[in-house]
Structure formats: C-alpha cells, structure tokens
Structure 1
Amino acid sequence: MIPEYAKNSKEDIPFGQYMEQYQQMDPMECASRTGLPFDEETQCFRMRMLQKEYLISWPELIVTRADAQDETYAVLAEETPAKILALRFLLHGVSSQSTGNFLTYREVPSGEVYFRQFSGRCLSRLAYGFGFKPEKLAAAFEQLGAKKLSHGDVSYELEIINNYFVRFILWTGDEEFPPSTQMLFSDNFPLSFTPEDMAVVGDISINTLKKM
C-alpha cells in the first residue's frame, strides 16, 4: 500500500530526515535544477503551492507568505505534510513543462498498483466531502484563484507546485447515483513526484479546500 506521510509526532521522523538533506544541499544547484528563484541576499527560495507564493528560507526552512496581506489559508505555512512535499521537490524535483496532456493516477508509473489506496484516500474523500454541496467546492476553488473548467458538474485546475498542475472534477450525487470524482495530473508529474507524493497532493489539496 502507499506509505502515508505520518501524522502528529510521527511526522518528525521523515521531516527530520529531509531537513538534514535540505540543510546540506547546495541551494544554487537546487535553484538551477528546479527553476525556483533563490535570493542569495535573503537566502530564500520562492515557491508556489496551491496558487499561493511562499518564501522558504535556507537552511532553516522558515516559510512565510510572499503576500503578507493575504489572510486566507496557507497550507505550506501550516501543515507538515505540505512542508515535506516541498522538501522532496527541493531535493529531487526538476523544472519542467507539461505538454498540455493530463494523466489519471492509474497512468503514472506504479499508479495501477496503488490506485485502490489512492481512490479511498483522495477520490472518495473529495466525492463525499463535496458531492452534495458543489457550490461550496466551487467557492473554495474560486477563493484559491483556480482555473475553472467545463468538465463534470464542478471542475477546476490548480497549480500544485510551480508548473505542476492537477485538475479536479466532481460529478454530483442524487437519489440514484452516488457522487464521483476524478483527479488528473499534468504529464510532467512523474518527473518529480512519486505515487506517494501524488496521494499527498490529494490530501493537502482537499484539506485546503475544506478549510477555505
């Protein structure tokens, strides 16, 4: 099954391991590889996550909003799993552009193996969290500044991390049929993210939508 990023105190173990690597890495090499701007004077990376821009200090990993006036929920400043996802991108990610095509989770390498866990952890959670209140889902996406699409009953595209996009599609439920959802990943995702990372993308996205 997909090994989940641990919660509460157990988050300290993977977070600590990635922090050690982060503190030892060459920030200029990271900036060149990922395409993330790095300010040598302030020693900060500039990264976008879920449509918001953040400043991430090196080597301390202090996260602040780039827009200090923005008071909406900022997942990278609030949640350890989001920080771990950012760390993994800083350590292993690459700058890339999608061809414009999108992949289902099953279509990414090893996605078929872990699809059942991903479906329960992300697709079902999104469906039953918003399947009978699509207006709330749409309002949350609008508040995030996501791109509206025309698929299903509600659909939007979010930039997860710089130039990596996910499309969320909801079909509402009724007395006959339960609600259903789909998540489509821009085709550059496998260059920087594992199936585990992609499940965490679903987690932090849904958490953010619920808290908006």
Structure 2
Amino acid sequence: MLAGEKTAWEKLEAMDPQEIAERCDLEYWEEEDAFVLEVFKAPFVVDIQQRQVREIGPHHHFHAGDSTHFSLIAPLYVASCRDVIPSGRLIAPQSVPGGQAFFKGPHELPLEVLAHHFGSNPDNFLRAGKELQAEKVEQGDAAVRVPTLPRMPVTIILWVGDLEFPARCQMLIDDTAPEHFPVDAIWATLILTAEAMIQVAGPHH
C-alpha cells in the first residue's frame, strides 16, 4: 500500500457518502458503499468497505494494475475533490503552491521518457490519446487533453525532434488542480497519465 493510501481510505470511511457524491458529482451505490469514478472516462468502482478499486463495464484500454499510483489516486480524489470544475486555463505544475521546489530530482516529470517514446511518431501519440478518450488540442506539433480524472484533466504537448533539436514534451494542468489535490498528488496524477499514454501506445518504434 502506497504512503497516503491508508489515510485516504480512512478519510473516506469517516465522510458522509451523500455529501461526497454531491460535491464530486459521482454516482454512489448505497448497498455496496461504493462510488463510480471515471478514470480516462472508463468506469471504476471505489469500494470503501473492501478498500479496493476495480474495473467495471467493457474492456478498459488502460490497465490500472500496471500503474504505480492508481491505487492511491482513486480514493484520494474521491476524498478530496472539490465542487470546482476546470476553468480551461492551463498552468505548469511547477507554478502550484510548493511546486517549484517539489518537481525536481525524484519528482521530475517523465517528459524525456514521453519525448523519446513519441518524438518521432506524433500520430502514435495522438492515437494513444484517443485510446484514453483525450481531445486533440492545437498546440505544438501534437497535443492532447487527457481526462485523467473528471475534474483533473492533463494536457500533454509534443514537439517532434529533428536534426537540430531533440523531441520534447510539456505537461500542463488546469489552474483549478490545486483546489482538489496537494502538490504530491498532482505529481502522482501526472505520472499516472504518462504511464497510461505509454502503456496504451505499446512498444516504442
């Protein structure tokens, strides 16, 4: 169990589920004591009694079990999401409170990994985004707005490499993200998004 995961479940157990459902705009199953949370617009059950998150419905392109932070992010989002919808104004993660110091060293974003994986194949980048129900965005050489969590979209911008400049990527968040998550959970959400993009894209060519 990841650090913070136990705390997130304990927080959920102590909260009024109807208040959570209304605040987060989530479906609540009273008999099961569980919420339905969409991750990349695919439904997952957040089961409070069992303290587990599981897939429901049709085939999911993203396999949550292969993610390093999914088991933390799902209950934490349900516990901490605010009644605030995305504004559409994008900011760098480093600009959130505490972000400048946080996004360094072990918490550096995997921008080089994304650039290496997709930098010579923007079509594959856009296909991966489509698998995750992302919207195409007109920025860089290719860009997608990934619906990682209902109120926590992540925008990824790709610039294709050439003989003069290497490929590069940028990850941006909505300026309302700090309303829902502290900086470490924002980082984990970005890692989850990068992992999912690479996972659904398949091996690098």
Aligned residue in 1 for 2:203: none
Counterpart residue identity of residue 110, structure 1: G
Contact 1:23 1:60 in 2 (8 A): no
- Partners of 1:202 and 1:91 in 2: CA distance: 18
Aligned 1:1-212 pairs, distance under 5 A:
11-67=1-57, 69-75=58-64, 78-79=66-67, 81-117=69-105, 120-212=108-200
User: Unaligned stretches of 5+ in structure 1?
Assistant: 1-10
> Greater share of helix residues, 1 or 2?
1
SS of the equivalent of 2:9 reads helix
- The Cα offsets for residues 142-163 of structure 1, whole Å up to 9 and x where unpaired, read as 2222101111111000112112
Counterpart residue identity of residue 158, structure 1: V
Contact 2:133 2:147 in 1 (8 A): no
- Partners of 1:19 and 1:182 in 2: CA distance: 32
Contact 2:37 2:45 in 1 (8 A): yes
Counterpart residue identity of residue 150, structure 1: E
Counterpart residue identity of residue 6, structure 2: G
Describe the shift of the 1:101–1:206 C-alpha distance in structure 2 as closer, same or farther (beyond 3 A): same
**TM-score w.r.t. structure 2 length?**
0.85
Counterpart residue identity of residue 126, structure 2: A
Contact 2:114 2:194 in 1 (8 A): yes
Contact 2:154 2:193 in 1 (8 A): no
SS of the equivalent of 1:151 reads coil
Alpha-carbon offset, residue 119 of structure 1: 7.7
- Partners of 2:74 and 2:36 in 1: CA distance: 11
- Partners of 1:184 and 1:146 in 2: CA distance: 14
Contact 2:103 2:109 in 1 (8 A): no
- Partners of 1:107 and 1:166 in 2: CA distance: 15
- Partners of 1:184 and 1:195 in 2: CA distance: 13
- The aligned length equals 200
- Partners of 2:115 and 2:28 in 1: CA distance: 38
